[in-house]
């Protein structure tokens, strides 16, 4: 059933069937990229989680390997091997992950001696048997681990009851014995601006980039909300954030991201793209969850964390179409006769009218009854992915995704869009992204159109590629 499903992505990574959530253990080893992920081999739903595993030499083509971690009865991970990371311990590949037992998560360790294929769990798991005793924690799990001076440091995600999300800092000399230091940072769940950081932080990630220190977290409030980035300084083992923003404005469609540094010194990030259709539809499809495209992280000129699709994705490009400049009259939808498909890369440059709105429609049916709109509103200074007509199936997610975007006076709107059937990844002006899911019901919902409102807009140019996995 999975292969016949018209919503199943063609070039995004996902397991052959069943459930995927968070990216885990991202590492480049002997030139190969390894991706582990939260995986339920027994159905398209979150249950007893294993670690799936795949390798790639180019971040685009992945080869599935056997399951890396399996929950083991009578041990600290008997109910699941939850999220974690991979580190190079002096030549020994080592995983630190959350063992799930009786609804509680504890740090566990595993190592490999055959090039990351099979993993031996440490005999004394869990390596951190209890959370710090004097803290009243909402939840407590997930790890990021790094080397600093002569020691290993680790952050665990958590939440302080009545206060907010936090990350707890630990230190170790051997990765197996950990000393708790203090919270690196405590968020305030009662503060709503610039963004709400919620009661609990999952999947922390902590690294320096462009001379700044970055903390990314997944904001959890009984369920996944969104990923947030904080940019600031790391001094005396404390983190002082200066800037906070959503990492991707598709909210739960870019959740629990993890990043790593590759041999080219690029910081590369993947996120879990949550479904936007109900559990029943996921069961019928036989699969659930998609990995985002790999993105390169950078710190923007005025401070925020930016993500761009990796250049290697050009390997997917097949047939190319160029659409030359045209004027887009106000109040009209201009259907492009030469451009259509459901697995596309689009690079489009548009100039909105002052205070006007302009954009592009994808997955549009010829009669317009289905379409997804990606528009920029110059008056509101917002980029919007409008899914209100994305599908005639009313059980699918139709909410709007809105991102703030302030264009400089002479700056055109530049959209870089990856469409992969039900997956939509939109990058705008090299500084914001919106990841989304759409489930058109009609086989002919493959048209692309331009639109302008409240004044004439200009198409500067559009390049389209059909994308294909070779
Ligand atoms: N997913 C994992 C947890 C993590 C959550 C469980 C985030 O370790 O907190 O599958 O999506």
Closest residue CA from atom 6 of ligand 1? 82
- At 422-448, the pLDDT tens digits run 999 999 999 999 999 999 999 999 999
List all residues 6 or more positions away from 430 whose beta carbon is below 8 Å from its beta carbon: 306, 308, 414
* Predicted pLDDT of residue 302: 77
Substitution candidate for ligand 1 out of 20, 38, 40, 157 with most atoms within 8 A of CB: 38
Distance of CA 219 to the CA centre of its chain: 13
* Predicted pLDDT of residue 91: 98
Distance CA 362, CA 339 (A): 10
202 Cα–ligand 1 center, Å = 7
- The strand ranges marked E within 378-430 are 382-386, 401-404, 413-420, 423-428
What element of type H or E holds 124? none
Q: Phi and psi at residue 284, in whole multiples of 5°?
A: -65, -35
78 Cα–ligand 1 center, Å = 15
DSSP 8-state symbol, 279: H
Positive or negative torsion for Cα 308, 309, 310, 315: negative
Q: Which atom of ligand 1 is nearest to the CA of 272?
A: 11
Residue with tokens 């290697």: 312
Mean pLDDT of the chain: 97
Active-site residue identified among 5, 22, 174, 386: 22
Mean pLDDT, residues 190-205 taken together: 98
Distance CA 401, CA 406 (A): 16
pTM score, two decimals? 0.98
User: Has residue 2 got a pLDDT over 80?
Assistant: no
Q: Which atom of ligand 1 is nearest to the CA of 97?
A: 8
Substitution candidate for ligand 1 out of 97, 202, 270 with most atoms within 8 A of CB: 202
Distance CA 336, CA 158 (A): 49
83 Cα–ligand 1 center, Å = 6
Contact 116, 80 (CB under 8 A): no
* Predicted pLDDT of residue 3: 53
User: Has residue 1 got a pLDDT over 50?
Assistant: no
103 Cα–ligand 1 center, Å = 12
141 Cα–ligand 1 center, Å = 8
Write out residues with Cβ below 6 Å of ligand 1: 21-22, 38, 49, 82-83, 98, 141-142, 202-203, 218, 224, 255-256
DSSP 8-state symbol, 378: T
* Predicted pLDDT of residue 301: 74
- At 119-143, the pLDDT tens digits run 999 999 999 999 999 999 999 999 9
323 Cα–ligand 1 center, Å = 43
Buried b (16+ CB within 10 A) or exposed e, 206-243: bbeeeebbbbbbbbbeeebbbbbbbbbebeeeebebeb
Report whether CATH 1.10.10.10 matches the domain 18-309.
no
Distance CA 259, CA 443 (A): 36
Substitution candidate for ligand 1 out of 83, 144, 199 with most atoms within 8 A of CB: 83
Active site residue 77: no
156 Cα–ligand 1 center, Å = 12
Residue 460: CB atoms within 10 A of its CB come to 14
Mean pLDDT, residues 36-45 taken together: 98
DSSP 8-state symbol, 352: P
**Could you tell me the residue ranges of all domains in the chain?**
18-309, 315-467
Distance CA 167, CA 22 (A): 18
Q: Which atom of ligand 1 is nearest to the CA of 46?
A: 10
Substitution candidate for ligand 1 out of 45, 221, 256 with most atoms within 8 A of CB: 256
What element of type H or E holds 282? helix 279-285
- At 60-101, the pLDDT tens digits run 999 999 999 999 999 999 999 999 999 999 999 999 999 999
Q: Shortest CA distance to 161 belongs to which of 195, 137, 184? A: 137
* Predicted pLDDT of residue 303: 86
Q: Which atom of ligand 1 is nearest to the CA of 218?
A: 7
- The pLDDT confidence band at residue 252, using thresholds 50, 70 and 90, is very high
DSSP 8-state symbol, 263: T
Mean pLDDT, residues 326-339 taken together: 97
Closest residue CA from atom 9 of ligand 1? 202
Q: Which atom of ligand 1 is nearest to the CA of 49?
A: 10
What is the CATH architecture assignment of 315-467?
A: Sandwich (2.60)
Q: Which atom of ligand 1 is nearest to the CA of 84?
A: 8
Q: Which atom of ligand 1 is nearest to the CA of 224?
A: 11
Closest residue CA from atom 10 of ligand 1? 82
18 Cα–ligand 1 center, Å = 16
């Amino acid at each position: 059933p999975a292969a016949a499903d018209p919503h199943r992505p063609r070039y995004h990574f996902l397991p052959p069937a069943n459930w995927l959530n968070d990216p885990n253990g991202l590492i480049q080893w002997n030139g190969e990229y390894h991706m582990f992920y939260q995986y339920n081999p027994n159905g398209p739903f979150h249950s007893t989680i294993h670690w799936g595993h795949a390798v790639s030499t180019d971040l685009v083509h992945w080869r599935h390997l056997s399951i890396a971690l399996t929950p083991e009865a009578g041990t600290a991970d008997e109910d699941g091997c939850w999220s974690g990371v991979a580190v190079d311990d002096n030549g020994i590949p080592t995983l630190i992950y959350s063992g799930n037992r009786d609804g509680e998560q504890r740090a566990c360790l595993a190592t490999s001696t055959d090039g990351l294929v099979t993993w031996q769990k440490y005999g004394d798991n869990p390596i951190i048997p209890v959370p710090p005793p004097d803290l009243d924690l909402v939840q407590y799990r997930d790890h990021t681990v790094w080397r600093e001076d002569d020691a290993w440091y680790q952050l665990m995600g958590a939440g302080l009851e009545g206060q907010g999300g936090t990350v707890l800092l630990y230190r170790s000399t051997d990765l197996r014995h950990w000393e708790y230091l203090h919270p690196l940072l405590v968020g305030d769940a009662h503060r709503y601006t610039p963004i709400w950081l919620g009661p609990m932080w999952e999947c922390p990630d902590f690294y320096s980039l462009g001379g700044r220190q970055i903390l990314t977290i997944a904001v959890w409030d009984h369920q996944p909300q969104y990923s947030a980035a904080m940019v600031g300084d790391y001094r005396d083992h404390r983190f002082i954030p200066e800037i906070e923003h959503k990492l991707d404005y598709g909210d739960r469609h870019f959740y629990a991201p993890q990043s790593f540094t590759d041999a080219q010194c690029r910081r590369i990030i993947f996120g879990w793209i949550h479904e936007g259709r109900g559990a029943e539809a996921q069961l019928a499809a036989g699969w659930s969850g998609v990995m985002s495209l790999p993105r390169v992280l950078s710190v923007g000129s005025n401070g925020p964390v930016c993500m761009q699709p990796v250049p290697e994705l050009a390997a997917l490009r097949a047939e190319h179409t160029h659409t030359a400049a045209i004027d887009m009259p106000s109040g009209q939808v201009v259907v492009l006769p030469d451009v259509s498909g459901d697995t596309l890369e689009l690079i489009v440059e548009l100039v909105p009218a002052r205070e006007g709105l302009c954009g592009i429609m994808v997955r549009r049916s010829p009669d317009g009854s289905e379409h997804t709109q990606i528009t920029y509103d110059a008056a509101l200074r917002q980029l919007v992915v409008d899914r209100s007509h994305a599908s005639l199936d009313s059980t699918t997610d139709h909410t709007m995704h809105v991102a703030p975007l302030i264009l400089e006076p002479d700056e055109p709107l530049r959209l870089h869009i990856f469409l992969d059937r039900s997956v939509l990844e939109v990058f705008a002006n090299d500084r914001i992204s919106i990841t989304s899911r759409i489930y058109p019901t009609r086989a002919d919902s493959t048209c692309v159109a331009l639109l302008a409102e409240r004044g004439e807009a200009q198409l500067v140019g559009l390049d389209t590629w059909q994308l294909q996995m070779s």
